[in-house]
Amino acid sequence: MATATLPMRAAPAFRRRQTCWAGTPEVYFAKAIDNSRLVKVEDPRRSREMRQFAGALACLFALVMIYTWQHFKAIEYGYQVEGLKVQRDGLAEENRVLKLEEATLRSPGRIDTIARQLGMQPPQAGQIVPMDSISPDTGGPVMANAGAVSLVAVP
């Protein structure tokens, strides 16, 4: 008897998947716990620590608020200073314009022209007494001096 030999095929290597857990499943039940009969005991050390922490937080908050207040006041004062500088520059320009106008109004040529239009005459010799020729005040009494008075009638 002749035996035929069949070539042996290698069996595929299948691995069995392993489960995530082994054993029986665990089941959890919620249990209501009644803590109404428990009394909380005050811990003096914890209370002191909390008061110190609250005090430190209050100080920190106060410092931050003071810094913020100073910062915003500095910004506000900066705007006020800039506004005052603009106002000062405007007033300086106005002062320059007024001094120029004063110099124009005080010019002797203009005054002479207006005086001649009003019918005035140039002063006679001796009618003008310069203020610089009077001696400076020595601190003593001063006597009033009345010169010759002339009446002019205008028709």
Per-residue pLDDT of the chain (155 residues; tens, 9 = 90+): 455 555 555 555 566 666 666 677 778 888 888 888 888 888 999 999 999 999 999 999 999 999 999 999 999 999 999 999 999 999 999 999 999 999 999 999 999 999 999 999 888 888 887 776 556 556 666 666 767 766 666 65
The pLDDT value recorded for residue 134 is 55
Give the list of residues 6+ apart from residue 110 with CB closer than 8 angstroms, or none. 104
The pLDDT value recorded for residue 150 is 67
Q: For residues 54 and 31, give the distance between their C-alpha atoms in angstroms, rounded to a whole number.
A: 38
Q: Is residue 14 classed as helix, strand or coil in its secondary structure? A: coil
The pLDDT value recorded for residue 29 is 85
Q: For residues 87 and 93, give the distance between their C-alpha atoms in angstroms, rounded to a whole number.
A: 10
Which two three-digit tokens encode residue 10?
Answer: 């290698």
DSSP state of 36: T
Distances (CA, A) of 122 to 106, 113, 118, 149, 150: 17, 11, 12, 18, 16
Which two three-digit tokens encode residue 130?
Answer: 């310069």
Q: For residues 44 and 50, give the distance between their C-alpha atoms in angstroms, rounded to a whole number.
A: 10
pTM exceeds 0.75 for this model: no
Length of the chain: 155
Can you say how many angstroms the Cα of residue 111 is from the centroid of all Cα atoms in its chain?
52
Q: Judge residue 140's burial from the number of C-beta atoms within 10 Å of its C-beta, 0-12 exposed, 13-18 middle, 19 or more buried.
A: exposed
